[in-house]
Structure 1
Amino acid sequence: MKICVVGAGALGCSIGGVLTEAGEEVWLITRNKAHVDAMNREGLKMRDGDQVRTVAVKAATSCAGLEPMDLIIVLAKSYDTRSAIEAAAPAIGPNTQILSLQNGLGHEEILAEIVGRERLLAGKTYVGGVMTAPGCITIGTSGKQTIIGELDGAISDRVQKVASHFNRAGLDTRVSDNIIGTIWDKLLINVATGALAGISGLPYGHLYAVPEIEAAALDAVAEAMTVAQANGIALSIATPRQAWEMASASLPFEFKTSMLQSLERGAKTEIDFINGSVVRWGERCNVPTPVNRTLVACVKGIETRQRHGVQ
C-alpha cells in the first residue's frame, strides 16, 4: 500500500516507521527540514524500550512531485488541518483515502470541505512517540490500540483493508462501527488532563497529586459527557473518573501532555479542537460548559502572553 503521513512528527514517524518496516511504501511529510534531512541521510532511528532500530525511510518537506497515494494519514496539528490537506493535493488521486488520526474533534468537517466526505476514514490512536533529536524518536506502539472506521459506521472493505495493513505491521488496530463515539472517548481523555497540565505546567506525576486539579478534571469531563449525550453520541467511557484514570495509564511520572509541550515551546495549542470543541457542541444543544470555557480562556491567555512577550 502506498501511504503518505502528513504531519510526520514523533507520532507520525512512529506509525510510518513501523509501516515501512512491514514493507509498505511510506512517505513521511513534515515541514521540519532538519528532521527530514537527518532521516534521508541516516535513516529513522526508533528507540523501542532498550532497543534502537534504524529504518530507511522516504521523507520530504512537502508532497510536491509525489504520485497519488492509496492512503493519506493526517497527523498535522489541528489548526493546520486545512493547509496540510490542501498542500497534499499532489498525492491525492481518484482512489486516495484520507484517514485522520488527529487529537480532538472537528477535523473531519474541515477535511470533507477540501476532499469530499466520501474519501474520509476517521480514527483515534493511543500510539505514542517522542522526538529526541532530528531523525530520532522514541516509539510507543506496544499494547497501544488504534481504532478506525467509516463516519457512517459501516464496516466497509476499504476500512478493513487499512486495518489489516496496520495489524500486519504490529499496530494493534480494530474497526469500529461507532467511530464518532470513539473520537469522543479519546476527546474525554484529552479534556481530563491537556488544558490543566498546560495551565499548571505540571507533568503527570505532580498533576495527579493535586486534589483540586483532579476535581476540576472530573468536572470538565462530566460537562463533556453531558454534551456528548445531548448530541446523541454513544460513549464507551461510563464515568468522568474512568477518563481521568485512562489518561495516565502506563505513562511515566515525568510525562507531559502535548498541550504542555506546545506551551513550553511557545507554540499554539490545539485547545480549540479539544476543550473548545466541548464548548461549541454545547452551544449547539444549549448545554452550559463553564468549566471547559474557563479552561479555554486560561490557555488562550497563556498563548497571548507568550505571543506578545508579556512577562
Structure 2
Amino acid sequence: MKIGVLGAGALGSVIGGTLAQAGEDVWLVTRSQAHVAAVRAAGLRLIGSEGESAVSRIHAATDSNEVGPCDLVIVLVKSFDTEQALRKSAGLFGPETVVMSLQNGLGHEDALAEVVGRRNVIAGKTYVGGVMLEPGVVIAGVQGKETLIGELDGSLSLRVQAIADVFNRAGLVTVAAPDIMSIIWDKLLVNVATGALAAITRLPYGPLYDIAEIHTVAVHAVAEAIAVAEARGISLSITEPEEAWRKAAEGLPPNFKTSMLQSLEKGSVTEIDFINGAVVAEGRRLGIATPYNETLVACIKGIEASLH
C-alpha cells in the first residue's frame, strides 16, 4: 500500500516509520527540510521501549507533487492548518485515495471532506506517541498503544478493515471500529488530561505525574469533558476521569512530551482550541460550566501571546 503521511512530525514519523519497517511504501511529507534531508541521508531512527531501530526503506519530501497519488493519506498536520495543508498537497490525492485524520481534537473530518469529498474520508484516533529528538531521530511510543479507525457513518467497511490489517501487520495495534465519534471523544478526554497541563508547566510525563496538584486539576478538567460528552449523547468507553489520566501515560517513557508542549517549545501556537477549547465551546452551547478547561485555555493563550 502506498501511504502518504501529511504532517510527518514526531507522531507521523513514528507511524510512517513503523509501517515502512513492515514493507509498506511510505512517504513522509513535512515542511521541515532538515527532517527530510536527515531521512534521505541516513533513514529514520526510531527509539522505543524495546530499543532503537533504523528504517532505511522510507521516503521523505517537502513537496507533495514529488510523491504522487497515494492509496491512503494519513493527516497529522496541526488542526488549525488542516484545510490549507490539504489544498497545498493536491498531488497526494487521486479519485480513490482514502484520507484519514489521526489528529487530536474535534472537527477535522468536516475540514477534510470540504477538500476531498466526504466519501473519501475516514476518521481515526491513535494513542501512539512520538517526540522528535532531532531531525531524523524520533522517540516512538508504540508498545501497548491502540489505534481505532472507522467510517463517518458508523459502518464497518472493507476498506477500513483493510487499513486496520495493514497497521496490525506492522505492529500498530489497530481496531476497525463502529461509532467512531465516541472514540474521538474518548481520545479527547486523554488529551484534556495532560496536553495543556504539560504545556503550561513545561514538564515531560515523569515529573508531571509526580505532582499531586497537577493530577487534581487534570481529573477535574476530564470530569467536565465527560459531562459535556454525556450531555451530547456520546457513549464513552472512558467513564471515570482517573482512567483518562492513567491512559495518557500508558507505554510512554518519563521523558515523553505532549504535542502541545512540543509546539510551545518550537514557538508555535497550539491546538488548544480543538481540545480543551472544544470542551469549553460545547459546554457553553449546552449550558454546562467548564471552569477548569476555561482556565487551561486562558493559560495557554497567554503563553502563546508571550511567544510573539
Task: Indicate whether the TM-score tops 0.5.
Answer: yes
Instruction: State the distance in 1 between where 2:257 and 2:95 align.
Output: 40
CA contact (8 A) 1:149 1:159 kept: yes
Paired residue secondary structure (1:109): helix
Instruction: State the distance in 2 between where 1:221 and 1:114 align.
Output: 32
Paired residue secondary structure (2:234): coil
CA contact (8 A) 1:74 1:100 kept: yes
Q: Give a deviation string over 1:56-97, Cα, whole Å, max 9, x none.
A: 211100202432211110011112111211122111111111
Structure 2 match to 1:185: 186
Instruction: State the distance in 2 between where 1:210 and 1:14 align.
Output: 29
The correspondence of residues 165-244 of structure 1 with structure 2, limited to 5 A, is: 165-244=166-245
Q: Give a deviation string over 1:223-274, Cα, whole Å, max 9, x none.
A: 1111111111110001111111222223333332221222222211110111
Structure 1 pair 180/208, CA: closer, same or farther in 2 (3 Å)? same
The correspondence of residues 115-154 of structure 1 with structure 2, limited to 5 A, is: 115-154=116-155
Structure 1 match to 2:69: 68
Deviation at 1:180, TM superposition (A): 0.8
CA RMSD of aligned residues (A): 1.6
One-letter amino acid matched to 1:27: W
CA contact (8 A) 1:106 1:277 kept: no
CA contact (8 A) 2:160 2:176 kept: yes
One-letter amino acid matched to 1:77: K
Deviation at 1:195, TM superposition (A): 1.0
Q: Give a deviation string over 1:164-213, Cα, whole Å, max 9, x none.
A: 11111221111111211111111101101111121222332332333332
Structure 1 match to 2:19: 19
Structure 2 match to 1:9: 9
The correspondence of residues 48-87 of structure 1 with structure 2, limited to 5 A, is: 48=48, 49-87=50-88
The correspondence of residues 248-267 of structure 1 with structure 2, limited to 5 A, is: 248-267=249-268
Structure 1 pair 200/67, CA: closer, same or farther in 2 (3 Å)? closer
CA contact (8 A) 2:131 2:256 kept: no
One-letter amino acid matched to 1:286: G
CA contact (8 A) 1:2 1:69 kept: yes
Which consecutive residues of structure 2, in runs of 5 or more, have no partner in the other structure?
Answer: none
Q: Which moved more, 1:124-133 or 1:30-39?
A: 124-133
Q: Give a deviation string over 1:137-171, Cα, whole Å, max 9, x none.
A: 23222222111111111000110111111111221
Paired residue secondary structure (1:64): helix
Instruction: State the distance in 2 between where 1:38 and 1:209 align.
Output: 36
CA contact (8 A) 2:46 2:140 kept: yes
Instruction: State the distance in 1 between where 2:270 and 2:217 align.
Output: 20
Instruction: State the distance in 1 between where 2:299 and 2:261 align.
Output: 13
Structure 1 match to 2:32: 32
Instruction: State the distance in 1 between where 2:213 and 2:45 align.
Output: 40
Deviation at 1:214, TM superposition (A): 1.9
Structure 2 match to 1:155: 156
CA contact (8 A) 2:144 2:251 kept: no
Structure 1 pair 253/41, CA: closer, same or farther in 2 (3 Å)? closer
Paired residue secondary structure (2:23): coil
Structure 1 pair 253/91, CA: closer, same or farther in 2 (3 Å)? closer
TM-score, normalization by structure 1:
0.94
Which consecutive residues of structure 1, in runs of 5 or more, have no partner in the other structure?
Answer: none
Deviation at 1:54, TM superposition (A): 3.3
TM-score, normalization by structure 2:
0.94
Paired residue secondary structure (2:175): strand
Structure 2 match to 1:103: 104
CA contact (8 A) 2:2 2:70 kept: yes
One-letter amino acid matched to 1:50: G
Paired residue secondary structure (2:64): coil
Deviation at 1:35, TM superposition (A): 0.9
Aligned length: 307
User: Is residue 2:132 matched to residue 1:164?
Assistant: no
